[in-house]
């Protein structure tokens, strides 16, 4: 079901034009970190609270009329879900989203509020979300909109990089030399790599879910280990990247970085205090790596704050923790 | 010490050009409220976390070289303080800010971090901040930069309206018909009135601190009553508006609206959940009035989210309250 063409730089440029027609570019906010300016791309300010709206829009607008009529099936812990639901509602396409039963309440509620059908699967119980989605697609003759292993999705997420480059040209006097981004399956990271061919791209994952870090080190796709610890970064809980993503990452990312839960919380607190932004754990992973000093900064460095969908209760715990 | 010329529409246009040279326009974010779109101007995303940076920049860039050398004195509960400190640092001007001892910690810390000298006064003890500031100005031959009773400050804050009008033309198909804004002394409200001559302008104050509401009703400037209750809206705790502001408000605002503490908290929680923004109590007052159904909306309505400087502890309390 997954299209097999490779995503391209031209595809990113097209996606960026399509996205610019309907979504104002979220701001690129300066953050002073030990005397240097880090440019923070506030994707948490997108209408669904995450960059995922970009890929979903690029993908769904590329469907044929017959495909639109049959509908789409998405798989997501929540942000891709909302992106697909948003694009589907806007285009009058029926959308079903396969989501884990333990997804954050706010993500489940928002996806339903956007008019999508939510089909729950038992992640903690070991059900495979891709199998559930493929079964649904067959039953309904619907198109699978994969969260990251899809050329349109990759190109759409890449429009984030197109905007960063345009904004930094004005604000920082030149294009980004470094872009740090949270990494789940590698859709955003691969898209950024296509969008900004001259920038270093560093994917950041939560500890224990650092399959992309290990894959880059090993030179082949490695899966998350079966005993991976619980993580607050629900948006980054993907079992493995895919060849369509890894082909790009392998070429453009010498390494990835893993961050601890405490480092993520510290980044969320700094975004609260200095940027007045609500950033969810997975969305703050890139900033966490920068603050922890795990990435050598460039003269012009950008970080993607990729999402802001977090329950009030979870955010209260983060703000109340002193680590 | 306070300049007495009247602020003008041309002055707002000039301020808007000066501000646009150094500060990217904060986004105008759509918020769905009972089937209508409210356009939220996210001034909490300004570098100092509030719109006050606008007036301060317009005022300080208008100083003569001799005035710059002598320095400035500001009076503020915190947001104007940071605006003046930010502009002063950028222009190499010495700034002293008179702030209440009970100002939010984050505002005191940020003002000092911007290099300004903080002079505390005892608000709860009844000390008059304007007297403290005027004494300092005399001692140092410094220029008083009043938080709202100053034509440059009013014009500078008005640039918020210039941006709203430009953004709504693109996003909403036309200029704002209604702008709802938090109101302390009336600097922002008066500026918005000058910037958007065809929009209804509604100032919103916290209950008990609704001196502008009462002034508009009475047709003359009324002061906050001596037994005014405590309010979380520190940014809106001004004892009275001034003739330079009231002359404009009286002409353009038929009435003001007062909001309760619970209404303000509900607005902060909605901004958290739906906009992923950290908005301080005073910054959320306008949105609170809209959500409470206290203002008849127009086809194209905008609300200013004027600031986002709040301590983590205070924000945790807001998110944890169920009202």
User: pLDDT tens digits for B277-321?
Assistant: 999 999 999 999 999 999 999 999 999 999 999 999 999 999 999
pLDDT at site B163: 98
Q: Which residues contact A30 (CB under 8 A, 6 or more apart)?
A: A37, A38, A39, A40, A171, B47
Of A257, A126, A242, nearest in space to A181 by CA:
A257
Residue A27 and residue B30: Cβ atoms within 8 Å? no
Closest residue in B to A270 (Cα) is: B312
Q: Which of B20, B26, B24, B18 is nearest to B44 (CA)?
A: B26
| Residue in B300, B30, B28 with CA at minimum distance from that of residue B177 | B300
pLDDT, tens digit, 9 for 90 and up, residues A53-88: 999 999 999 999 999 999 999 988 789 999 999 999
Query: At A103, is the pLDDT very low, low, confident or very high (cuts 50, 70, 90)?
Result: confident
CATH 3.40.50.1100 correct for B53-145: yes
Q: What is the pLDDT of residue A2?
A: 53
In this structure, is the dihedral angle defined by the CA atoms of residues B251, B252, B254 and B259, taken in order, positive or negative? Answer: negative
pLDDT at A129: 85
User: Which of B195, B182, B184 is CA-nearest to residue B155?
Assistant: B195
Cβ–Cβ under 8 Å, residues B140 and B70: yes
B276 with A47: Cβ contact below 8 A: no
B319: closest CA of chain A, how far (Å): 6
Least confident of A201-205, B111-115, B182-186: B111-115
Query: Pick from B241, B281, B287: which is nearest to B261 by CA?
Result: B281
Mean per-residue pLDDT over chain B, rounded: 95
Band (pLDDT 50/70/90 cuts) for residue A133 is: very high
Nearest to A251, CA basis, from A308, A311, A197: A197
A114 CB within 8 Å of a chain B CB: no
Q: What is the pLDDT of residue A174?
A: 97
Confidence grade of residue A38 (pLDDT, cut at 50, 70, 90)? very high
Please give the average per-residue pLDDT across A291-309, as a whole number. 97
Averaged pLDDT, B244-261: 98
Q: How far apart are CA A263 and CA A276, in angstroms?
A: 18
Which residue among B28, B30, B49 sits closest to A276, beta carbon to beta carbon?
Answer: B49
pLDDT at B28: 98
Per cent of chain A over pLDDT 90 is 89
Query: How far A13 CA sits from the closest chain B CA (Å)?
Result: 22
Q: pLDDT value at position B45?
A: 98
Which residues on adjacent β-strands are paired with residue B259? B206
**In chain A, whose CA is at the least distance from the CA of B279?**
A276
Task: Tell me whether domains A9-50+151-320 and A53-145 share a fold.
Answer: yes
* CB contacts < 8 A (A, B): 70
Whether B34 has its CB under 8 Å from any CB of chain A: the answer is no
Residue A3 has a pLDDT of 58
Q: Is A278 in contact with B277 (Cβ distance < 8 A)?
A: yes
Other beta carbons within 10 angstroms of residue B293's beta carbon come to 10
Instruction: Name every chain A residue with its beta carbon within 8 A of the beta carbon of B266.
Output: none
What does residue B204 show for φ and ψ, rounded to 5 degrees?
Answer: -125, 130
Judged by CB atoms closer than 8 Å, whether chains meet at A277 and B279 is answered as: no
Return mean pLDDT, chain A: 95
State mean pLDDT over A1-23.
Answer: 91
**Residue A239 at interface with chain B, using a CB cutoff of 8 Å:** no
Residues in chain A within 8 Å Cβ distance of B278: 272, 276-278
Of B171, B273, B278, the CB nearest to A272: B278
Judged by DSSP in three states, A115 sits in coil
Residues from chain B that touch A312, judged by Cβ atoms under 8 A, are 269, 272-273, 319-320
The answer to whether A281 contacts chain B (CB < 8 Å) is no
Does residue B200 have a pLDDT over 90? yes
| pLDDT confidence bin for B78, thresholds 50/70/90 | confident
Per-residue pLDDT of B102-134, as tens digits, reads 888 888 998 999 999 999 998 878 788 889 999
Chain segment B80-96, per-residue pLDDT in tens: 999 999 999 999 999 99
Cα atoms found within 13 Å of the Cα of residue B294, Cβ hemisphere only: 21
A22 at B interface, C-beta within 8 A: no
Residue B1: the pLDDT is: 47
All structural domains of chain B with their residue ranges: 9-50+151-320, 53-145
Contact of B171 with chain A, judged by CB distance below 8 Å, is answered with yes
- Taking CB atoms and an 8 Å cutoff, what residues of chain A touch B42? 45
Residue B125 confidence (pLDDT): 80
Identify the pLDDT of residue A77: 79
Average pLDDT on A126-140 reads: 90
Q: Is the pLDDT of residue A311 over 50?
A: yes
Min Cα distance A139 → chain B (Å) is 34
Out of B45, B167, B273, the one facing A276 most closely (by C-beta) is B45
A95-104, A144-153, A246-255: least confident range: A95-104
* Helix (H) / strand (E) containing B262: helix B261-270
Kindly determine whether residue A106 and residue B309, on different chains, have CB atoms separated by under 8 Å. Answer: no
Q: Which pLDDT value is given to residue B267?
A: 98
Q: Which of A80, A65, A137 is nearest to A114 (CA)?
A: A80
CATH number for the domain whose boundaries are A9-50+151-320: 3.40.50.1100
Q: Nearest Cβ partner of B277 from A106, A277, A312? A: A277
pLDDT band at A47 (very low <50, low <70, confident <90, very high): very high
- Chain B positions in Cβ-Cβ contact with residue A170 (cut-off 8 Å): 24
pLDDT higher than 70, residue A6: yes
Position B3 pLDDT exceeds 70: no
CB contact (8 A) between residue A278 and residue B278: yes
Which of A153, A133, A144 lies closest to A248 in space, CA to CA?
A153
A196 touches chain B (CB under 8 A): no
Q: Which of A89, A276, A311, A318 should we substitute to test contact with B (largest number of B Cβ atoms within 10 Å)? A: A276
The DSSP 8-state label assigned to residue B8 in this structure reads -
DSSP B175: -
What's the 3-state SS for B88-136? HHHHCCCEEEEEECCCCHHHHHHHHHCCCEEEEECCCCCCCHHHHHHHH
Q: Where are the beta strands (DSSP E) in B231-315?
A: 257-259, 301-305
Q: Is B247 on the interface with A (CB under 8 A)?
A: no
Q: Which residue of A has its CA nearest to B322?
A: A312
pLDDT attached to residue B117: 96
- The minimal CB distance from B27 to the residues A26, A171, A319 is found for A26
Nearest Cα neighbor of B308 from B49, B104, B114 is B49
The ipTM (two decimal places) reads 0.94
**CB pair distance less than 8 Å for A319 and B320:** no
Nearest to B308 among A45, A276, A309 (CB): A276
- What residue of A is the nearest CA neighbor of B272? A278
Residues in A 284-313 with any Cβ partner in B closer than 8 A: 308-309, 312-313
Report pLDDT for B208.
96
Tell whether the model's pLDDT for residue A139 goes beyond 80: yes
Whether residue B56 has pLDDT greater than 80 = yes
Mean pLDDT of A155-159: 98
pLDDT at B177 over 50: yes
Question: Which member of B167, B309, B319 has the closest CB to residue A315?
Answer: B319
């Amino acid at each position: 079901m997954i299209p097999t063409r490779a995503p391209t730089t031209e595809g990113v440029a097209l996606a960026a034009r399509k996205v610019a027609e309907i979504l104002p570019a979220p701001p690129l906010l300066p953050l002073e970190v030990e005397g240097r300016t880090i440019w923070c791309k506030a994707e948490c300010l997108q209408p669904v609270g995450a960059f995922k709206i970009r890929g979903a829009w690029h993908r769904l607008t590329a469907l044929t009329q017959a495909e639109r009529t049959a509908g789409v099936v998405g798989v997501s812990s929540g942000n891709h879900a909302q992106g697909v639901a948003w694009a589907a509602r806007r285009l009058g396409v029926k959308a079903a989203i396969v989501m884990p039963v333990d997804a954050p309440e706010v993500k489940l509620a928002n996806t339903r509020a956007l008019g999508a059908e939510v089909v729950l699967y038992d992640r903690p119980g070991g059900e495979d979300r891709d199998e559930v989605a493929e079964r649904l697609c067959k039953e309904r003759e619907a198109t699978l909109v994969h969260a990251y292993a899809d050329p349109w999705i990759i190109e759409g997420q890449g429009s984030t990089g197109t905007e960063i480059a345009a904004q930094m040209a004005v604000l920082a006097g030149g294009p980004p030399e470094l872009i740090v981004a949270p990494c789940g399956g590698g859709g955003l990271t691969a898209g950024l790599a296509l969008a900004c061919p001259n920038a270093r791209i560093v994917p950041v994952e939560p500890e224990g879910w650092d399959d992309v870090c290990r894959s880059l080190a090993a030179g082949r796709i490695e899966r998350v280990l079966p005993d991976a610890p619980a993580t607050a970064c629900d948006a980054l809980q993907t079992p493995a990247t895919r060849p369509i993503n890894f082909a790009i990452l392998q070429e453009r990312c010498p390494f990835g970085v893993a961050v601890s839960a405490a480092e993520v919380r510290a980044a969320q607190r700094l975004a609260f205090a200095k940027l007045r932004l609500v950033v969810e754990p997975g969305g703050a992973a890139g900033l966490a790596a920068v603050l922890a000093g795990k990435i050598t900064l460039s003269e012009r460095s950008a970080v993607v704050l990729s999402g802001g969908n977090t329950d009030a209760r979870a955010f209260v715990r983060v703000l109340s923790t002193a680590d």
